[in-house]
A and B are shown apart, each in its own frame.
Chain A
């Protein structure tokens, strides 16, 4: 379970202070599919970065499975990212000089308890393209590869920052389906950050942010099928 209790993130720029997150309180249950919605500058990426251990909390408590990660040292945060987090970036951030398979395989060195590389590539539809380099892949394929890389180490939480932001509608839908299926199959808490409000109906929980504050949290008892999303 992810619990944010009065979490604030303040960026200082000279004498100016920018509150990217302002006393945010929310809870995401284990295995849930959460959609974080909001316009640019609403603080959604900041929240993702804090949950992913990529940035530090300025104020408040951030608990993961009951443990406050704000108290963790830098080394403990490394272990936290290693063991708990899978991250899917909007612009993939793949290693260009490693092949498709190697991009996934490199992560398997981080944990003994990982998924089979070939199986995960098969599941994201890249089995036939495993010897190619990222340069040879399309946008959708790159994102699928990015997902495979994120999930191969069986993270507890999968964080996706605008995963469909650079993709066309059909590819976007396929990517969302893939993320959802993999998360369900592996009991992964899935958090997708997006500015696309059409996605709100597919998540179990929809968190709407505005100006660094939670505007609304909505539990969706009957999420629609991803293919039904009107883009």
Chain B
């Protein structure tokens, strides 16, 4: 057995090109999956730890104001001692037009600011604990002073500490911002007393409770009466839902892509190992003839697959988490703020390693076993593949076509029909390369094209402003000139049978600032009874026109609505109705958005009821910036795809070449010139590339479609867009690699040892 071990290592050295292919395929598959898995799994683990360290509440109760009597009722009647009351106002930094959301807490029992530097939060202190990102962007440190204005009141605060708030990990400053603007929007903790210095008599409005108490809706209504708005449980919290979706998106992106990677690698490795073993036929026969036990021979060749796949997996496991997370986390941290992002291996990576190692080892053992089933004399017969049956294919039966084909092509076609697995593997290699590259290049392009649609085709306003809600909005904003449309967008839930989805409910004046289009891309004009549902949401809930859907808006109410039409609008995914329908079904129309066209920006910004204004172009820019976080993942995948394509195409072509080297040597002896043999090699490759390329384009288009559907957040629909550039790049890479490999291999034709090629494999 010792000698067989020595032989294994010497064989690895001798056939290093084939082994290297298998090594790289395992390495890339594990590095990509493992590298991405440590990020998404690390996010889950880090957030869980962050939650614990932040003493996160279990129930949030929202009210219009909590009086001392209400507090007494909770503490004495309900026996709740552990409560954190809080309230927030939006302060402004004097002269800089920067906004800080100021939160006052009664204590840190169920909301503990995560301390980055400075002093620990003190609910009685007169100081301020500032958000880390805002502090970094504005170069603020503990000990610095901040002058904050709220309406007509001003107060100077000393920064006591720099903190993070888990509930604001996705803080942007405005609902109109999809990316944070840390320079201009921040948050901070102050004491209730300080808050009341700025906003006298402003009460606590929120309550946080721990695990021990769970107050029901009816109980809350009885305590707070008409001041009660709604409550949320931990699982309802938007930031947790979002973090789960971010992690889920990364997981889906990595799994889906890795799945193609792993599938391609597995098939190629299986084929490589099988063929490597088949090429050892004479040695296997000799060992059997010498009396070496079948078990030992199988073990020896099993080691072929085992050693190389284990080494590749370990290398991938070590390299992946070193290379991928820094890129991925840097991009993801533009939208999510965490105190730490630990990298934690996910158990699934070990499962994938096991699968890959098993495939390699199994392929080796299975093929050795297949050869060992024959008697040594038969194994040792020097057939040089002559025993592989050739059957006349379909095309060959049509003499009219077949007789007109050049001999070279006939040869290629027959050879492929004789080596179906080899041919199929070649096609799969090219096809897989096309799928990975087109999808990799197409994802960002599709997202950007969907963004373009949302902000050019779907939206027609110049400015969009977040405004303070009021029922006399027309009067409040009458100074703003130009065309105006007031809309109300609220988060809510949609229920159909047993399916529930978080959605956005839009009540619109429908004055043409946002165009609603049907599935044929024709404009829809809303009438009073119209209730539109977006296409993706309709598909997710299994809803059609005429169906009844239950819509619930937090703190406002719920109603069952009949869907009248489906719209192809991509974002936000939800329900759209007229303001009249909203008033009939829910409550008074108090808009929170002002969409304007041809208005003066000064007039908008000077209006005290306007909280934040942005342009359509800025929104598009932000959405595209957000798409870049996906782009970073895609760049990693594209790069890995290119390497994988090179490895797969080279490995398969190399094996094809090795198997046919004797034929090429024969042709050289017969007098064929190198370029003539190269054209035969090219013929083989061209057929594989053409078929793989054509099938690859269709498969890639379908894969991209599915990929976008799976990885998109619920709030938006991304439509796949396959542009010529992506197609051209993918084609250039795949065809380029294939042709380069042909030329690389054809250089070996020149070096064929004509004498040695006809000797047996020993």
Contact A135 B387 (CB under 8 A): yes
**Complex contacts, B387 vs chain A, CB 8 Å:** 135
A134 at the B interface (CB under 8 A): yes
CA distance A178 to B386 in the complex (A): 24
- B390: contacting residue among A89, A91, A133, CB under 8 A: A133
Q: How far is the CB of B380 from chain A (nearest CB, A)?
A: 13
Q: Which of A87, A102, A134 contacts B669 (CB 8 A)?
A: A87
Within 8 A of B (CB), among A68-102: 74-75, 78-79, 81-83, 85, 87, 89, 91-98, 102
Measured in the bound complex, the distance between the Cα atoms of B672 and A87 in whole Å is 13
Tell me the complex Cα distance, A135–B415, Å: 13
A105 touches B673 (CB 8 A): no
Asked if A67 is an interface residue, CB under 8 A from chain B, the answer is no
* B418 pairs with A81, CB closer than 8 A: no
> CB-defined interface of B664-702 with A at 8 Å, one 1/0 digit per residue?
011011111110000000000000000000000000000
Cross-interface CB contact of B671 among A49, A75, A110, cutoff 8 Å: A110
Q: Pick the contact of B410 from A78, A96, A102, A109 — CB < 8 Å?
A: A102
Pair A135/B670 contact, Cβ less than 8 Å: no
- A18 at interface, CB cutoff 8 A: no
A89–B389 CB distance below 8 A: no
* A226 on the B face (CB < 8 A): no
Complex: A153 Cα to B758 Cα, angstroms:
22
Cβ B670 vs Cβ A107 within 8 A: yes
Q: Are A93 and B758 in contact (CB under 8 A)?
A: yes
Proximity bits, B328-363, A CB within 8 Å = 1, else 0? 000000000000000000000000000000000000
A38 at the interface (CB under 8 A from B): no
**Would you call A83 and B671 a contact (CB within 8 A)?**
yes
Tell me the complex Cα distance, A105–B407, Å. 8
In the assembled complex, B558 has its CB within 8 A of some CB on chain A: no
Known: A49-B754, A74-B750, A78-B674. A98 touches B410 (CB 8 A): yes
Is A3 part of the binding interface, using a Cβ–Cβ cutoff of 8 Å?
no
Binary CB contact string for chain B from 408 to 420 against chain A (1 if under 8 A, 0 otherwise):
0011001101100
Q: Are A96 and B669 in contact (CB under 8 A)?
A: no
Minimum CB distance partner of A50 in chain B: B755
Contact partner of A85 among B415, B665, B671, CB < 8 A? B671
Whether, in the assembled complex, A54 has its beta carbon less than 8 Å from a beta carbon of chain B, the answer is yes
Q: A residues within 8 A CB of B382?
A: 91
Known: A78-B671, A81-B670, A110-B671. A97 touches B386 (CB 8 A): no
Is the CB–CB distance between B666 and A95 below 8 Å? yes
Counting CB contacts under 8 A, is B397 at the interface? no
B384 interface residue per 8 A CB criterion: yes
Whole-angstrom CA separation of A8 from B94 in the bound complex: 99
Interface centre among A55, A74, A85, A97 (most CB of B within 10 A): A97
Q: Is A52 an interface residue (CB 8 A)?
A: yes
Against A, the Cβ 8 Å flags (1 = close, 0 = not) of B392-412 are 000000000000000100110
Chain A residues contacting B750 (CB-CB under 8 Å) are 74
The smallest C-beta distance from A137 to any residue of chain B, in angstroms, reads 9
- B407–A102 contact, CB under 8 A? yes
- Are the CB atoms of B669 and A82 closer together than 8 Å? no
In the assembled complex, the CB of A96 is this many whole angstroms from the nearest CB of chain B, namely: 5
* Residues A96 and B755 in contact, CB atoms below 8 Å apart: no
Interchain CB contact under 8 A, B390 and A87: no
Asked whether A149 is an interface residue with its Cβ less than 8 Å from the other chain, the reply is yes
In this assembly, does B373 line the interface, its C-beta being within 8 Å of a C-beta of chain A? no
- When distances are taken between beta carbons in the complex, the residues of chain B under 8 Å from A79 are 671
Determine the distance from Cα of A14 to Cα of B672 in the docked complex, in whole angstroms.
Answer: 32
Q: Which residues of A contact B670 (CB under 8 A)?
A: 81-82, 87, 107, 110, 149-150
Decide yes or no whether A106 CB sits under 8 A from chain B. Answer: yes
B414 touches A89 (CB 8 A): no
Contacts of A96 in B (CB 8 A): 385-386, 388, 390, 418
Chain B residues near A55 (CB, 8 Å)? Answer: 754-755
- Name which of A79, A96, A135 has the most chain B CB atoms within 10 A of its CB: A96
Contact of B386 with A135 in the complex, beta carbons under 8 Å: yes
Cα separation A107 to B676 with both chains bound (whole Å): 12
B663 at the interface (CB under 8 A from A): yes
Q: Which residue of A lies closest to B750 (CB)?
A: A74
Q: How many residues of A contact B (CB 8 A)?
A: 34
Residue in B386, B663, B666 with the greatest tally of chain A CB atoms within 10 Å: B386
Task: Decide if A54 touches B754 in the complex (CB within 8 Å).
Answer: yes
Asked, given contacts A95-B663, A102-B407, whether A81 binds B669 with beta carbons under 8 Å apart, the answer is yes
A165: min CB distance to chain B, Å:
11
* A87 vs B415: C-alpha distance when bound (angstroms): 23
**Band of interface residues on B:** 20 to 34
B662 at the interface (CB under 8 A from A): yes
Task: Tell me which of B665, B666, B669, B674 has the highest count of chain A C-beta atoms within 10 A of its own C-beta.
Answer: B669
* Contact A81 B390, CB 8 Å, known A93-B666, A97-B418, A102-B410: no
Q: Tell me, in angstroms, the Cα distance from A94 to B667 when the chains sit together.
A: 10
Nearest chain-B residue to A74 (Cβ)?
B750
**Residues in B neighbouring A54, C-beta threshold 8 A:** 669, 754-755
Evaluate contact between A95 and B669: CB separation under 8 angstroms: no
- Against B, the Cβ 8 Å flags (1 = close, 0 = not) of A129-146 are 000011100000000000
Closest Cβ neighbor of B385 among chain A residues: A96
Q: CB within 8 A of A49: which of B410, B672, B755?
A: B755
B758 touches A89 (CB 8 A): yes
Q: Is the CB of B669 within 8 A of A52?
A: yes
Would A153 and B386 count as touching, CB distance under 8 A? no
Measured between alpha carbons, how far is A52 from B671 in the docked complex, in Å? Answer: 10
Whether A93 touches B662, Cβ cut-off 8 Å, given contacts A49-B755, A98-B411, A133-B390, is yes
Tell me if B669 and A78 are in contact (CB < 8 A).
Answer: no
A220, B662: Cα distance in complex, Å: 37
- Chain A residues numbered 119-166 whose CB sits less than 8 Å from any CB in chain B: 133-135, 149-150, 153
Cβ–Cβ < 8 Å partners of A89 in chain B: 666, 758
B411 touches A102 (CB 8 A): yes
Q: In whole angstroms, what is the CA distance A54 to B665 when docked?
A: 10
Which residue of the partner chain A has the closest CB to B670? A107
When distances are taken between beta carbons in the complex, the residues of chain A under 8 Å from B671 are: 78-79, 81-83, 85, 107, 110, 153
Q: Give complex CA distance A54, B671 in Å.
A: 10
**B:189-240 near A, CB below 8 Å:** none
CA distance A96 to B415 in the complex (A): 8
Cβ of A97 and Cβ of B411 under 8 Å apart?
yes
Which residue in A49, A85, A134 is a CB contact (below 8 Å) of B386?
A134
* A162, B303: Cα distance in complex, Å: 39
Within the assembled complex, what's the spacing in Å between the Cα atoms of A92 and B415?
18
Docked CA distance A133–B385 (Å): 13
Question: Measured between alpha carbons, how far is A81 from B663 in the docked complex, in Å?
Answer: 16
Cα A31 to Cα B384 in complex, Å, equals 33
Interface residues of B in 626-670 (CB under 8 A from A): 662-663, 665-666, 668-670
Given A49-B755, A105-B407: A81 touches B668 (CB 8 Å cut-off) = yes
Contacts of A150 in B (CB 8 A): 670
Contacts of B389 in A (CB 8 A): 135
Contacting residues, chain A, for B417 (C-beta < 8 A): 97
- How far does the Cβ of B662 sit from chain A's closest Cβ, in whole Å? 7
Cβ-closest chain A residue relative to B390: A133
**Minimal beta-carbon separation of B398 from chain A (angstroms):** 15
Contact B407 A106 (CB under 8 A): yes
CA distance A17 to B543 in the complex (A): 84
Q: Would you give the 0/1 interface string for A33-57, flagging 1 where the beta carbon is closer than 8 Å to chain B?
A: 0000000000000000100101100
Name 16 interchain pairs, CB-CB below 8 A, sorted by A.
A49-B754, A78-B668, A78-B674, A79-B671, A91-B758, A93-B665, A93-B758, A94-B386, A97-B418, A102-B410, A106-B407, A107-B670, A109-B407, A110-B671, A133-B390, A134-B386
Q: Which residues of B contact A (CB under 8 A)?
A: 382, 384-390, 407, 410-411, 414-415, 417-418, 662-663, 665-666, 668-674, 750, 754-755, 758
Given A75-B673, A135-B389, 15 additional A-B pairs, CB 8 A? A49-B754, A49-B755, A55-B754, A79-B671, A81-B668, A82-B670, A91-B382, A93-B662, A94-B666, A96-B386, A98-B411, A110-B670, A133-B390, A135-B388, A153-B671
| Top 7 A-B residue pairs of the complex, sorted by shortest distance between their CB atoms | A82-B671, A97-B414, A54-B754, A97-B415, A93-B666, A133-B390, A81-B671
